[in-house]
């Protein structure tokens, strides 16, 4: 069980207890501990109650619950609360924009128990009859409920890839089995494990230890199996791992005799089977950026704001991992929920950075900040204070309900701020949770190019913001792309690998990856503006 999975019990417990109307601070305690568990790098399995109680936010009651979860895979308190309400209530509560009060109203006054019923009730215009609900609220809820329904049964790429690896290992003696579909293409959200095989369905079931459901499962993840004979294996593989565009271009090339199918499969890895242009053009095909190319860790949070680790231990971990520099970017003052830095605490952090920099050999910490982009596009500190940072990442965190024009204007204003060096997670999306907003990316990238601002490839699996499709455009506009972990813990730093994997989808020169630079080169770049 991962710490995230462990934390989820407490998040769910907090949510259903809030709906039940339990004591506010009890709920806060569960929410707080979920946050601690998620960000922790410790392995809690097998810890004694005494050891667990040393963790901040964990007392006697919660330590017992953690042990219960590990021992039984269950949490009785959670089951008790869930049993009081229709099963769909939990789904309703996890729809963004719907809190406990509204869900209770919908349930008690309209009898709505599931997201599907909710969408229907919106279409019937029934929400507007409730006190406190208007047309805008109804439309907003309808959209978010639809997003929730569409996301249900989908998984993050990062959570499925390790499972798929274990599954394929079980079939490893049979090289006529291969992963296909969205997972093979490294799309950030996938429907499960997709397999192409020359084996019989029953053989796969047996060897892969699959459940006997209609859609079989491996470790709880749905497995979609396509079978074919050996003669068709290559062409089927190409078809099931390519975008429509790539596949039709590949067929053209095959028909023209320009390439054989073996050539195509060899030359284009599944994650590169996206753009038709590459097959046709005589232009350069770049080798993908590799994990070991990344020299610096940019965009990291510490205990100064909402990270779980001190600046010193984050730096030490980067050193241990072979990185050469770190750009610490805690939250800015508006992010009160995340303990954002007030001016006096910035001074404290700078002093610590200076001190640490004198003690570490061949490693540099740069003074950065993740400054909120406020609704009007200004950054979160005075220009005077901003000028003291070596690297300002500007990101949006709130006010994401904006039309495209306003969002574009807001981002461009932030990009034009003379102290902005990197634009962080531009859409603000959280995969499977909220869609974020839709600025005109073409214009945003142009503004970055005009202002010597790099663009972030946010590698947090929940964000993966921007979509890979924009990397190539950014590259051709001459931008630097920065593969950033947005880490809040030691293990969060390893999220860089997801960014690297997705960046490889685009045909870009790895030299445009900002943190491929050495510390000295990076420092020069910072000072180039």
Partner DNA sequence: GCCGTTTTCGGCCCGACTGTTTTCAGTCG
Query: What is the C-alpha separation between 465 and 485, in angstroms, rounded?
Result: 11
Closest Cα partner for 490 from 170, 134, 42?
42
Interface positions, 316-375, toward DNA (CB under 7 A): 334-338, 374-375
Site stretch for DNA (CB under 7 A), options 26-34, 213-221, 278-286, 410-418: 26-34
- φ, ψ for residue 395, nearest 5 deg: -135, 150
Axis crossing angle, helix 115-123 with helix 100-110, rounded to the nearest 10: 70
Using CB under 7 A, which residues numbered 430 to 449 contact DNA? 430, 434
443 and 413 in contact (C-beta within 8 Å)? no
Told to check if 399 binds DNA by CB under 7 A, we report yes
Binders of DNA in range 46-65 (CB under 7 A):
53, 55-63
User: Would you say 132 or 220 has its CB closer to DNA?
Assistant: 132
Nearest distance from C-beta of residue 336 to DNA, angstroms: 5
Please report whether residue 98 would count as binding DNA according to CB under 7 A. yes
- Of 188-247, binders to DNA (CB under 7 A) are none
What is the smallest separation between the CB atom of 403 and DNA, expressed in angstroms? 10
In the complex, least distance from residue 464 CB atom to DNA, rounded to whole angstroms:
16
For residues 186-208, one letter each, b for 16 or more C-beta atoms within 10 angstroms of the residue's C-beta and e for the rest, the string is bbbebbbbbbbbbbeeeebbebb
Assess 253 for contact with DNA (CB under 7 A). Answer: no
Residue 518 makes contact with DNA by CB under 7 A: no
DSSP state of 494: G
Rounded Cα gap, residues 190 and 130, in angstroms: 37
Stretch that binds DNA, among 100-108, 162-170, 233-241, 252-260 (CB under 7 A): 100-108
- By beta-carbon proximity to DNA, the closer residue of 26 and 523 is 26
Contacts of 216 (CB under 8 A, 6+ apart): 205, 208, 210, 222, 223, 225
Which of 71, 73, 131, 214 is close enough to bind DNA by CB under 7 A? 131
Nearer to DNA, 127 or 386 (CB): 127
Single residue of 11, 138, 237, 276 touching DNA by CB under 7 A: 138
Residue 306 binds DNA (CB under 7 A): no
Which residue, 50 or 173, is less far from DNA as judged by CB? Answer: 50
Candidate ranges 29-37, 160-168, 239-247, 407-415; the one touching DNA (CB under 7 A): 29-37
Contact assessment for residue 100 and residue 74, using Cβ atoms and an 8 Å cutoff: no
Q: Which is nearer to DNA, 110 or 430 (CB)?
A: 430
Pick from 401, 405, 520, 521 the residue near DNA by CB under 7 A: 401
Examine residue 280 and tell whether it contacts DNA (CB under 7 A): no
Give me the phi and psi of 194, to 5 degrees please: -110, 130
Q: Mark residues 283-302: x for contact with DNA by CB under 7 A, - for none.
A: --------------------
* CA angle (272, 275, 287) in 5-degree steps: 40
Options 2, 169, 398, 404; binder of DNA; rule CB under 7 A: 398
Q: Which of 21, 99, 153, 291 binds DNA (CB under 7 A)?
A: 99
Q: Which DSSP helix (H) or strand (E) runs through 386?
A: helix 383-386
Pick between residue 103 and residue 180 the one whose CB is nearest to DNA: 103
- Binding to DNA by residue 135, rule CB under 7 A? yes
CB-based contacts of 495, cutoff 8 Å, min separation 6: 158, 459, 460, 461, 485, 486, 487
**Considering only CA atoms, which of 134, 211, 226, 146 is closest in space to residue 178?**
226
Tell me whether residue 23 or residue 74 sits nearer to DNA (CB atom). Answer: 23
Query: What DSSP letter does each residue of 156-184 carry, written as one string?
Result: EHHHHHHHHHHHHHHTTT-TTEEEEHHHH
Give the Cα separation of 452 and 415 in Å (integer).
Answer: 9
320 touches 309 (CB < 8 A): no
CB of 344 to DNA, least distance (A): 17
- Where along the sequence are the contacts to DNA (CB under 7 A)? 23, 25-26, 28-30, 33, 53, 55-63, 96-103, 128, 131-138, 140, 334-338, 374-375, 397-402, 430, 434
């Amino acid at each position: 069980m991962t710490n995230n999975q462990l934390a989820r019990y407490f998040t769910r417990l907090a949510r259903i207890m809030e709906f039940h109307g339990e004591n506010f601070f009890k709920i806060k305690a569960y929410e707080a501990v979920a946050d601690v568990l998620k960000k922790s790098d410790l392995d809690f399995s097998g810890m004694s109650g005494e050891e667990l109680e040393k963790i901040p936010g964990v007392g006697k009651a919660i330590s017992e619950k953690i042990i219960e979860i590990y021992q039984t895979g269950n949490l009785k308190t959670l089951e008790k609360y869930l049993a009081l309400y229709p099963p769909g209530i939990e789904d309703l509560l996890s729809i963004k924009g719907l809190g406990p009060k509204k869900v209770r109203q919908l349930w008690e006054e309209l009898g709505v128990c599931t997201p599907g019923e909710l969408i229907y009730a919106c279409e019937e215009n029934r929400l507007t009859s409730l006190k406190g609900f208007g047309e805008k609220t109804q439309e907003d809820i309808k959209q978010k409920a639809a997003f929730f329904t569409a996301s249900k049964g989908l998984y993050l790429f990062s959570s499925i890839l390790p499972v798929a690896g274990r599954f394929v290992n079980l079939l490893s003696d049979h090289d006529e089995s291969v992963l296909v579909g969205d997972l093979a293409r490294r799309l950030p959200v996938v429907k499960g494990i997709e397999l192409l095989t020359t084996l019989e369905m029953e053989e796969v079931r047996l060897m892969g230890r699959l459940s006997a459901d209609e859609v079989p499962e491996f470790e709880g993840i749905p497995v979609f199996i396509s079978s074919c004979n050996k003669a068709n294996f290559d062409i089927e593989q190409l078809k099931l791992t390519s975008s429509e565009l790539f596949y039709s271009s590949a067929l053209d090339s095959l028909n023209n005799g320009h390439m054989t199918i073996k050539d195509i499969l060899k030359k284009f890895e599944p994650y590169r089977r996206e753009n038709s242009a590459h097959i046709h053009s005589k232009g350069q095909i770049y080798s993908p950026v590799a994990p070991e190319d990344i020299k610096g860790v940019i965009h990291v949070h510490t205990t100064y704001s909402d990270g779980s680790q001190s600046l010193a231990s984050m730096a030490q971990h980067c050193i241990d991992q072979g990185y050469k520099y770190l750009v610490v970017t805690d939250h800015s003052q508006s992010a009160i929920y995340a303990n954002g830095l007030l001016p006096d605490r910035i001074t404290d952090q700078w002093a610590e950075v200076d001190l640490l920099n004198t003690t570490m050999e061949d490693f540099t910490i740069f003074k950065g900040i993740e400054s909120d982009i406020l609704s009007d596009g200004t950054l979160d500190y005075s220009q005077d204070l901003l000028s003291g940072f070596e690297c300002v990442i500007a990101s949006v965190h709130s006010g994401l309900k904006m039309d495209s024009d306003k969002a574009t204007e807001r981002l461009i204003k932030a990009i034009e701020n003379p102290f902005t060096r990197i634009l962080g997670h531009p859409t603000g999306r959280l995969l499977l949770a909220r869609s974020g907003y839709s600025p005109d990316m073409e214009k945003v990238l142009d503004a970055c190019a005009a202002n010597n601002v790099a663009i972030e490839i946010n590698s947090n699996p929940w964000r993966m913001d921007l979509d890979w499709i924009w990397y190539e455009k950014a590259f051709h506009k001459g931008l630097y792309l920065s593969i950033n972990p947005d880490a809040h813990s030691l293990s969060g730093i390893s999220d860089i690998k997801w960014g690297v994997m997705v960046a490889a989808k685009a045909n870009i020169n790895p030299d445009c990856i900002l943190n491929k630079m050495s510390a000295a080169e990076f420092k020069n770049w910072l000072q180039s503006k």
